[in-house]
Structure 1
Amino acid sequence: MKLFQKLIAAPAIITMASGFAVNAAEINQTEFSPFTKSPEVISTGDFKSDLLVPGDWAYDSLKDLSKSPRFNGSPVHRMEAAAELNRLIAGGEGLVNGAAIGRLSDELGSELAIMKGRVDGLEARVNEIEAGAFSETTSASFGVDAILEASDGGGESEAVGFHYAWEMKTKTSFTGEDTLTVAAEAGNGAGTSGGVLDFGASTGNAIEIKDVNYKFPIGDNFTMKVGDSLKISKSFNQACSYSAFTDTLSDCGDGKAHNVGGDISASGEYDFDNGFTFSGGVSGKKGATELLTKENPGIWALNAAYEADTYGLSLAYASDVDNAYWGLNGTYDFDALAVSAGMGFKNPDSGAESTSWMAGITLPEVGIGEVNLGIGTDGYFKDAETELLIYEASYGFDLADNIGMTVGAFIQEKAAGTDDITGVASTISFSY
């Protein structure tokens, strides 16, 4: 045990240090002082000599023990000699001559101490880096969207604007089957057209947390989601394959049932493994931090859907304090094109029922991208009211891996006496 008590470096440390071949001229106490405060570290000024030369007992002993080509009759630096000694100890070579190893460990103890201090310091720095890095089960994704748009009408003057939106999302798994998601966003507005387009994050350039939720399984087929700023509809399946350009048509004709909002929420989905799914949940109203209180009863909603290879159907129901909403959606893929349509029904506690609808066509292979053509109501309308429609056309394609671009145009009808809004826009999206 006495021999190994003399060893300053443990086998793992010695193994790392054995790769060092450092010139003595490069070693000084200032260089290593950040790495260790060990009293065993001796400055180079205390060394007997910077070199071992042929004829020195240490030189000849290392030559006999290691058979290394380093000892070819030319002097070697003491740090190189110490590295060779580390290699011998780490590999177990030469330990048959314990007396020689012990004596060499004493002679080169200062160099071994410096090497140990340097490796300890490197390990400490690596540990600091790893402590500040993502865990192995955490991933991060980022996205940047930018839009250049021009619009006219709606009682506003002509305008051309540029806006951006940034998003960061981290996902962590603790069991391999669950997911903790945290999403943040920043942006400088929804566009000059007053938010007609499905774009933007109006945070005034400030970074805001937009979603914190936790998803976990219960059994084989049931998945729960709980979180803040999490819509119940995140657990829903809506039968709509249309890629909308404007915000209203992105709801696929059903703005309040399939796309029910809310804030703090709990929802779940059961997958029957045969194409059918059933989902439901409860949520506080926007800005609420509590569920189902007397002052803020919140929202609850249900969804049933069926998805096959070429078609899908879905039905949703949602209820808040003052209204009940129904939504029906369907989609069919004809290979050359896909058709999506939907209807929404709003039933208030008092007053007349109102409806909304939408229809869209997707042409998936036009040049290097796809074309989307859509029409729908701009919200809910009662039977006695004149429906105001939105028309849109867009073309989306990839510029490169993780870079997509969409160009499009729209018309938003306005009430009599106000000019319709017409606009064109080009968006580019980066994901990384």
Structure 2
Amino acid sequence: MKLFRSLLVAPAALGLLAPLSATASETNLNEISNYSDIESIDFANSFNNEDLSENNLVAGGEGLVDVHSHDGSFSETTTASFSADFMLGAIDNEATADVGDTGNGGQSVMGAYSFQIDLNTSFTGEDSLDVSIDAGNAGSAGVVEFDGNATSSDSLVVDGVSYTFPIGAKTTAFVGDNTDGSLLFDTACVYGGPSNTLDDCGNNYSALNAGGGSAFGASYDVGNGFTAAFGYTGSPTGLMTEEGDDAYATQVTYSGDNYGVSFTYAYKENPTFTQVVTDSDIYGLNAYFIPSGEGLPSISAGYETANSDIPELSTTSNIDSSSWFVGLSWDELGPGSAGIAVGTKQHTVDFDSTSVDDELLMYEAYYSYEINDGMTVTPLIYTKEFASGTEDESGVMVKTSFSF
């Protein structure tokens, strides 16, 4: 019965979620405020008042509902979590928008913030409807490496909606909008660096990142440490048609007691990283090792390669490109955790083996420690290389994170 019910819910959920990317996503704060309107009610005694027709969202994110109808109130299975980040960064020889091989020399000190609300609801105890709402101004150069939220006019926007549910005992599936197609992937990496460039462990293009389209996927627990997964992301106005750009990916992962390996394959139509209109086959290999000795760091590494076909009118037939990453991390180093990493900041491109771009690297080191259970401070220092004729970029940043 559970299997039959899950199979019915999946297409219905996909139909509901697919149009979301084609509509505005700014949150109506007036509607949200309605949940907190309390007229002529003693809030401290409201939880024991059986005559109340609706319950209000309480601190911690849980609602109180004793009936099956949730109109005007929060489900008892709905939780909310909140996070806020404050970031301060100083850069020497800041790069323009952090894109390409050109920079505008000089120094800058910039600050930014990032805010996020995550709403989670379960209807069966095994499924999860997840909604992410973001705000922030962290898209500016100077703090961009902390990968904060950047929204228009600092407004709250819906960043993603997904519904995850089991099918049988070993399969988990999801449908979503503006959600990573690789949501259920288990990439073999234990490096948790804070930067925007190296935190993907070298698995940069084979992951199906959110891009405003519709997504679905599934994972299967093979057993004995092996899992398999696939994902899809596409334009909501042309899913799996010539009118839209599609991306598919599959992954196989093995996780042992102290090491793991994953292999990822992706096919993407018109990916932006090739800088030409083309389709690409992308392969990613990741691994990690956790030594048993005390004080020794875990090691994570990743390698990715892509082959892209160029239109026939071009003077070359294809592009080969690759990237790599190595990171060390200490889960316990003094009162906090630390890590160092090095890797290519972007794919190194080879046009038909006749012209090779410079291998441009990035180096970083960070230390993260908790002030208390809800507050963490993370300093980061990094250096990025740029092509010949442009000075390298160096940055020092501090992020203070609050979770509640």
Q: % of aligned pairs identical? A: 35
Q: 1:282 aligns with which of 232, 253, 258?
A: 232
User: Post-superposition shift, 1:402?
Assistant: 2.0
Q: 1:379 aligns with which of 346, 371, 380?
A: 346
Q: Aligned pair count?
A: 313
User: Structure 2 CA distance, aligned partners of 1:317 and 1:414?
Assistant: 29
The alignment status of 1:184 with 2:151, answered yes or no, reads no
The alignment status of 1:329 with 2:286, answered yes or no, reads yes
The alignment status of 1:243 with 2:192, answered yes or no, reads yes
User: Post-superposition shift, 1:327?
Assistant: 0.4
Output the amino acid matched with 1:273. G
Seen in structure 2, the aligned counterparts of structure 1 residues 341 and 293 have a Cα distance that, compared at 3 Å, is same
Q: 1:317 aligns with which of 265, 269, 272?
A: 265
User: Structure 2 CA distance, aligned partners of 1:242 and 1:406?
Assistant: 15
User: Post-superposition shift, 1:255?
Assistant: 0.6
User: Structure 2 CA distance, aligned partners of 1:292 and 1:266?
Assistant: 12
Partner residue in 2 for 1:398: 370
1:201-248 Cα deviation digits (max 9, x unpaired): 343301000111100111000011101011111111100111123211
Q: How does 1:197-208 map to 2 (within 5 A)?
A: 197-208=146-157
Seen in structure 2, the aligned counterparts of structure 1 residues 290 and 210 have a Cα distance that, compared at 3 Å, is farther
TM-score by length of structure 2 reads 0.73
Q: Does structure 1 retain, via aligned residues, the 8 Å contact 2:326–2:342?
A: yes
The alignment status of 1:301 with 2:249, answered yes or no, reads yes
Seen in structure 2, the aligned counterparts of structure 1 residues 199 and 340 have a Cα distance that, compared at 3 Å, is same
Partner residue in 1 for 2:335: 368
Partner residue in 1 for 2:34: none
User: Structure 2 CA distance, aligned partners of 1:297 and 1:147?
Assistant: 35
Q: Does structure 2 retain, via aligned residues, the 8 Å contact 1:266–1:282?
A: yes
Partner residue in 2 for 1:134: 74
User: Post-superposition shift, 1:157?
Assistant: 2.8
User: Structure 2 CA distance, aligned partners of 1:197 and 1:228?
Assistant: 24
Seen in structure 2, the aligned counterparts of structure 1 residues 403 and 289 have a Cα distance that, compared at 3 Å, is farther
Seen in structure 2, the aligned counterparts of structure 1 residues 133 and 402 have a Cα distance that, compared at 3 Å, is farther
User: Which of 1 and 2 has higher RCO (CA within 8 Å, sep 6+)?
Assistant: 2
1:6-50 Cα deviation digits (max 9, x unpaired): xxxxxxxxxxxxxxxxxxxxxxxxxxxx99xxxxxxxxxxxxxxx
User: Post-superposition shift, 1:364?
Assistant: 2.1
Partner residue in 2 for 1:418: 390
Partner residue in 2 for 1:149: 89
User: Structure 2 CA distance, aligned partners of 1:358 and 1:410?
Assistant: 15
Partner residue in 1 for 2:319: 352
User: Structure 1 CA distance, aligned partners of 2:195 and 2:188?
Assistant: 18
Seen in structure 2, the aligned counterparts of structure 1 residues 200 and 151 have a Cα distance that, compared at 3 Å, is farther
> Which has more helix, going by share of residues?
1
The alignment status of 1:268 with 2:208, answered yes or no, reads no
Output the amino acid matched with 1:362. S
TM-score by length of structure 1 reads 0.69
1:376-396 Cα deviation digits (max 9, x unpaired): 001111242210110100001
User: Structure 1 CA distance, aligned partners of 2:237 and 2:401?
Assistant: 33
Q: Cα RMSD between the aligned structures?
A: 2.2
Partner residue in 2 for 1:292: 240
1:351-392 Cα deviation digits (max 9, x unpaired): 231100010111222111111100000111124221011010
User: Structure 1 CA distance, aligned partners of 2:83 and 2:146?
Assistant: 18
Gaps of 5+ in 2: 1-39, 57-63, 65-70, 94-102, 270-278, 311-317, 351-355
Q: Does structure 1 retain, via aligned residues, the 8 Å contact 2:378–2:398?
A: yes
User: Post-superposition shift, 1:428?
Assistant: 1.1
The alignment status of 1:409 with 2:358, answered yes or no, reads no
